[in-house]
Amino acid sequence: MVPKKLFFTKGVGKHKERLTSFELALRDAGIASQNLVRVSSIFPPRCKIITRKEGQSLLNHGEVVFAVIAENSTREAHRLCVSSIGVAIPADKDTYGYLSEHHSFGETEDQAGEYAEELAAEMLATTLDVDFDPDKSWDEKKEIYRISNKIVRTSNITQSAVGDKRGLWTTTIAAAVLILDED
């Protein structure tokens, strides 16, 4: 059961009920009709990142689907909430990488996305014995990772939203959806 493909998605939902706002965020992300099982944060070896559209076409209604999900909610008017998934992919395709979940309040999408990306990269760097100073800036660490030739790529998908001014629940999600082999 090692996933062969993965796609990223994100969404926002607003409703007077928290659960319904979550459901609406899942609908916005295009993954509401699946039974989602949250898993920890390993990017499988030899896994191919595909588009959201391609990934959704491989899913069936009611299917049990594994996903790494970041979720956040607020009922406070005008409060900024954000959810982000970061990914760090090793240069060696036979080695696993990392996904990270981050959710916070008051951060911009860029801030939260960079943080999630940095989390994933640091987790991968420690497993690959890349020597780095955790107190350095993200830009300085990215350069060390690049020079090491052990981490080939990092990225993120991030969703932010401002709390509804009428006090409705506002939910953000970001997800990495894992697709098992079709065979």
pLDDT single digits (tens) 1-20: 899 999 999 999 999 999 99
The predicted pLDDT at position 9 comes to: 98
Bigger pLDDT: 152 vs 26: 26
Q: How far is Cα 82 from Cα 74, in angstroms, rounded to an integer?
A: 10
Q: What CATH number should be reported for the domain holding residue 158?
A: 3.50.20.10
pLDDT in tens, 59-83: 999 999 999 999 999 999 999 999 9
Range of the domain at 164: 5-179
Domain count, the chain: 1
Distance in Å from the first CA to the final CA of the chain: 11
The predicted pLDDT at position 61 comes to: 97
Q: How far is Cα 16 from Cα 19, in angstroms, rounded to an integer?
A: 9
Q: Match 């990215």 to its residue by tokens.
A: 142
pLDDT in tens, 109-158: 999 999 999 999 889 888 888 877 777 777 777 777 776 777 778 999 99
User: 0.85 cut: is pTM over it?
Assistant: yes
